[in-house]
Amino acid sequence: MKDLLTALQAVIAGIAITALIYWLLNLLIHRFPEKIKKKVEPYVFIGPVLFLIGAFIVIPTLQSIRLSFMEEEIDGSTTWVGLQNFKDLFAEEYFPKMVINNLMWIAIVPLLTVSIGLAIAQFANNVGPRSEKIFKSIFFMPMTISFVSAAVIWRYIYAYAPEGQDQVGLLNNIWIKLGGSPQAWFQIETFKFNNLLLMVILIWLSAGYSMVLLSAAIKSVPEDTLEAGRVDGANTGQIFFKIVLPQIWPTVIAVFITVLIGAMKIFDIVLAMTGGNYNTTVLAQTFYLEYFSYGNTGKAMAAVVILILAIIPVMFYQVRHYRKFEAAR
């Protein structure tokens, strides 16, 4: 209860301080001549935001890049080692498998998440208003669960006990009913099956988010374009793929990239479910292990830099795609 009150006080204090800052800034710029006021007003109001971005994003990022070229000594001092941390990371036996795992996550998770979200959104928009609300609430519910909590839930689904013992896991119970024997699912590395099982969790968590955004986009499609398609004799599938989908494509891309970035930095689920064992490790977990378990700051920061370099092109593409879409409107 005490922690809750402390958190509540922090939120209230943050809101009050923010309101005070903007009130003082507003008071300040109104003292300027009108000509100067128009020029400086936008910069004054975005100034605090830019400061926070610099303090909490830019500076830590630059510090991470700097430390990736350093080796930390026992006494806390740092020594310049150039690219040695990157070389050591690339030389690790697990590195090629880790890269393959990350590529699988970013190739499979966004595609399936968007596809499932799109299918659910289209279906939900075609049922009655009351059923739509219930349907969407059910599918959006996993979004309210943290990744670690979701991992705990899915642990009971994938749980394994040796043959002859009571099976807690839902999947093993179903498998036994079908005539199979209990399986330690996370130890099945054939075709990266254990990685696919982990991906199911993130898809389950993200499909609701995808569904909500895509449903809103589908509802925004002008009715007259749909009616024109029906008049021309188009069936439901043709209307969706040739009329609806092209009009909501920018939203599809935005959702895809958002989920893609989430998949690139996945960490919680892997750590909670397998700890990276059975060849399920990913890049973000490498940072965690190197920094918190092995105390190797330079190598951990090298993993962070690789992750940043992988995410930046995706973000640039998203911004470029958005600007192109806005220019075409």
Supply the pLDDT for residue 175.
92
pLDDT of residue 199: 95
Domain that holds residue 8: 2-67
Structure tokens at 196: 């696919």
Q: What is the pLDDT of residue 255?
A: 92
What is the Cα–Cα distance from 201 to 116, expressed in whole angstroms? Answer: 13
Rounded average pLDDT over 144-158: 90
Together in a domain, 268 and 143: yes
pLDDT of residue 329: 63
Residues 222 and 132 grouped into a single domain:
yes
Does residue 85 form part of some domain? no
Contact at 8 Å (CB) between 298 and 72?
yes
Domain co-membership, 275 together with 177: yes
Domain count within the chain: 2
Poorest-pLDDT segment among 109-113, 134-138, 249-253: 134-138
pLDDT computed for residue 1 by the predictor: 64
The label of the residue with tokens 């936008």 reads 42
Residue whose C-alpha is closest to residue 101's, from 292, 312, 286:
286
Mean pLDDT of 313-329: 77
Please report whether residue 327 resides in a domain: no
The region, left, alpha or beta by phi > 0 then psi within -120 to 50, assigned to residue 233 is left
pLDDT, tens digit (0-9, with 9 covering 90-100), for 116-133: 999 999 888 887 777 888
How many whole angstroms separate alpha carbon 34 and alpha carbon 52? 28
Residues 142 and 266 in one domain: yes
- Do the strands 70-72 and 78-80 form a parallel or antiparallel pair, or are they unpaired? antiparallel
Q: Are residues 37 and 175 in the same domain?
A: no
Q: And the tokens for 55?
A: 């303090």
- Tokens describing residue 321: 């795609």
Give 130: exposed, middle or buried? Use CB within 10 Å, 0-12, 13-18, 19+: exposed
Q: Greater confidence, 130 or 241?
A: 241
Report if residue 122 sits inside a domain: yes
At 314, the pLDDT band (50, 70, 90 cuts) reads confident
* 307 domain-assigned: no
Q: Give yes or no: residues 56 and 173 share one domain.
A: no
pLDDT in tens, 90-112: 998 889 999 999 999 999 999 99
Query: What percentage of the chain exceeds 70 in pLDDT?
Result: 98
pLDDT single digits (tens) 26-65: 788 777 787 777 777 777 778 777 887 778 888 888 899 9
| Residue-by-residue DSSP string for 23-50 | HHHHHHHTTS-HHHHHHHHHHHHHHHHH
Mean pLDDT, residues 171-194? 91
Q: Is 115 helix (H, G, I), strand (E, B) or coil?
A: helix
How many residues are given for the chain? 329
Q: What is the mean pLDDT of the chain?
A: 87
